[in-house]
Amino acid sequence: MPIPKILVFAGSIRAGSFNASLAALAAKELALAGADVTHISLADFPMPLYDANLEAKSGPPDQAVNLKRMIMLHQGVFIASPEYNASVTPLLKNTIDWVSRVREGKEPPLAAYRNRVFAIGGASNGAYGAMRSLLALRQVLEVGCGALVIPEQVAVARAADGFDDMGNLKDERSAGALRAALRRLIEMARLGT
């Protein structure tokens, strides 16, 4: 069976981010399961706030082009999404928006979101575990970008106490949900969606 290439990142660059911890754990679990994992930080892809006038004047920023190309090198993507005001972070939404605008050569629109599979998870200190941001992110990816997002997902509640000293999830139900989502991500990525 082919070894799937999976890209992993969090929608937060905050120091001590629960979702950076979730992304790191997902990257570790994916590698242990035999995937070829690339774990990145959006801090390495700074982009201005999306502005159609800016795009018309100078096109998408170089970092949007770089990230789009990186996504296209992978068959699967795992995104750990924080929750801000019951939705995705401005950083994550802005990143998705800019990448959606990159079109090179004869590529169809939204090329970075097509022909690959996405898995999502989130961690927050609240009781819902970023569930509302996952609903919003699923809508943006599926409806807005035409991406295939698997139904399995993980929502880590009370995340300040959710990880042990080794970076693993303490709650077995959350840990099981993460493993199930990652197994399905690998399985779907192998199929080459």
- Can you name the CATH fold of 5-190? Rossmann fold (3.40.50)
Quick one: pLDDT at residue 2?
83
The mean per-residue pLDDT over the stretch 42-55 comes to 97
Give the residues across from 120 on adjacent strands.
79, 153
Q: For 58-68, what is the mean pLDDT? A: 97
> Cβ atoms within 10 A of the Cβ of 70, count?
17
CB atoms within 10 A of CB 109: 12
Q: Is the pLDDT of residue 40 over 60?
A: yes
- Summarize the confidence of residues 164-176 as an average pLDDT: 96
Smallest CA-to-CA distance from 140 within 131, 149, 152 is with: 149
Is residue 49 pLDDT above 70, yes or no?
yes
118-130 pLDDT, tens digit per residue, is 999 999 999 888 9
Mean residue pLDDT of the chain comes to: 96
Cα distances from 25 to residues 20, 29, 91, 102, 190, in angstroms, run 9, 6, 21, 30, 21
For residue range 71-105, what is the model confidence (pLDDT) as tens digits?
Answer: 999 999 999 999 999 999 999 999 999 999 999 99
- What type of residue sits at position 112? A
**What pLDDT, on a 0 to 100 scale, did the predictor assign at position 1?**
66
The three-state secondary structure class of 109 is coil
pLDDT score for 22: 98
Helix 90-101 vs helix 62-72: crossing angle, to nearest 10: 80
Confidence (pLDDT) at 107? 95
pTM of the model: 0.96
- Cα(66)–Cα(99) distance, rounded to whole angstroms? 9
Distance (Å, whole) CA 88 – CA 99: 16
Residue 192 has pLDDT above 80, yes or no: no
Q: In the numeric block, which tokens belong to residue 60?
A: 């998408």
Task: Sketch the domain layout of the chain as residue ranges.
Answer: 5-190
Identify the CA nearest to 141 among candidates 191, 79, 72.
79
Provide, for the chain, the percentages of residues in helix, strand and coil under a 3-state DSSP scheme, each rounded to the nearest 5.
45, 20, 35
Structure tokens at 149: 């997002």
Residues in a beta bridge with 118: 77, 149
For the chain, what percent of residues have pLDDT higher than 90? 95
Helices (runs of H) and strands (runs of E) counted in the chain: 6, 5
pLDDT surpassing 80 at residue 193: no
